[in-house]
A = this chain, B = another copy of it.
Amino acid sequence: MKKLLVLLLLFTVTFTYSQNDDDKLQLEKIYKTSLTNGKSYEWLDYLSNQIGGRLSGSYNAEKAVQYTKSQLDSLGLDRVWLQPVMVPKWVRGIKEYAYIESSPGKTNQVNICALGGSVATPEGGLKAEVIEVKGIDDLATIGKEKIEGKIVFYNRPMQPELIHTFEAYGNCVDQRYAGAMEAAKYGAVGVIVRSMNLRLDDLPHTGSMSYGETPENKRIPAAAISTNDAELLSGMLALDKSLKFYFSQKCKVYPDVQSYNVIGEIKGNEYPNEIITVGGHLDSWDLGDGSHDDGAGCVQSMDVLRLLKETGYKPKRTIRVVLFMNEENGLRGGKKYAEEAKGKGENHVFALESDSGGFTPRGFSFDCDEANFNKILQWKSLFEPYLIHYFEKGYSGADIGPLKDTGLVLAGLRPDSQRYFDHHHASNDTFEHVNKRELELGAATMASLVYLIDKYGTLLPKKVKG
């Protein structure tokens, strides 16, 4: 009986707590300000339409650094700075070209793009027979004899039955990332991959790939073809295994270049050494303008600090926006930020990343211990009026991952993911596919969580230095 009473008491306390009127009011202010006087959409417009795609090491990436720094400078934060980081520079070169040759002179042109990090095809392009596989494991089964001299075609689609599209992506992306290094071991001369896209369309989707330890002279070119073309190629192969595939790409790796993470902060007035970081990545792939991936996350993160200021909130802890450079093909920005934070003995208590598109926010996933997770769950009802229901343990974000440490709470914004992979790394990741309200709701949702974490702190913070 006593246990029951305690349970009931706990329930009552929790309930009262989560209904805290000040918090309700502050969340109302944050959402209203974002929806009526948000800056995220205007910033994204500039980033997408005035700058555009901003692959690490490009002139556009540099322009994005300067632009976002200038915007942070204008917000009256306590400090804005650039954190230098060397980044890789891979350049696509002139547009790729590909076709299926079913008999000499009879060709079907194919929508193709080089994977980020790939080598070029030989001078004049590469033409070879094709062997279709459903994944890396198939290579061993098929054996070197049948693969040697051919182009390996990875054609395992994303699973439409999975509700979380990122899970479907996770189940497929090894083909893109490691497909070339694995196929090279079996003597393949090139790799083409079905685009990581849940729908059938004509757009090829790029993304990072790695050669791992493959020596330079053994590296084979890798490219993605559209889902429609993957279906076509697979269908044609079923009829004729001896057809040939041609592709030509002129991509190239240059030496690393200097770039920057862009950082701004509001100093905490009670616990300035406890740092809350909110961010996204400033670099993007080069085919679209990077509006969803991850312009959205950058402008939302910038607006988190502005929304807290606009609503008159004075943070107890130091709140930092970090626009990470080079998430897409190296994660150098995320690694650098964590390295310097650890070097300086900075005490990060919470880090939040938005890198899943600018769609209607549904909630967060948390990478933290049970105690902190349970504490956060008590705030869930505060978010219900904004249709934010999803609070689960899970993945946070690539850029904040390197910060991971005991006691630190990592979180990722989880927007609706159904349309994300229609645009991801493709030429239609563009501004017109971001809805202003959805973007602003995301910024407000992030600002609300940052507010609550700042106000109530996290459990078991590490010992504060300095």
Contact = CB atoms under 8 A, between A and B. Distances in A.
Interface of A: 1, 4-5, 8, 31-32, 35-36, 160-161, 163, 165, 198-199, 360, 362, 385-387, 389-390, 416, 418-419, 422, 435-438, 441
Contacts of A35: 160-161
Which of A1, A8, A199, A436 counts the most B-chain CB atoms under 10 A from its CB? Answer: A436
Contacts of A198: 437
Nearest to A390: B387
A422 B36 CA distance: 17
Contact of A160 (B4, B36, B386, B390): B36
A434 to B, nearest CB: 11
14 contacts: A1-B1, A4-B8, A31-B161, A35-B160, A163-B387, A165-B437, A360-B416, A362-B387, A387-B389, A389-B390, A416-B416, A418-B437, A418-B441, A422-B435
A163 B31 contact: yes
B436 A199 contact: yes
Nearest to A4: B4
A153 to B, nearest CB: 23
A384 to B, nearest CB: 9
Contacts of A5: 4
A198 B32 CA distance: 14
Contacts of A31: 161, 163
Contact of A386 (B32, B163, B360, B387): B163
Contacts of A441: 163, 418
A161 B390 CA distance: 22
Which of A199, A360, A385, A418 counts the most B-chain CB atoms under 10 A from its CB? Answer: A418
Given A4-B8, A360-B360, A362-B387, A160 B437 contact: yes
Contacts of A165: 437
A419 B390 contact: no
A418 B161 contact: no
Contacts of A36: 160-161
Contacts of A360: 360, 416, 418
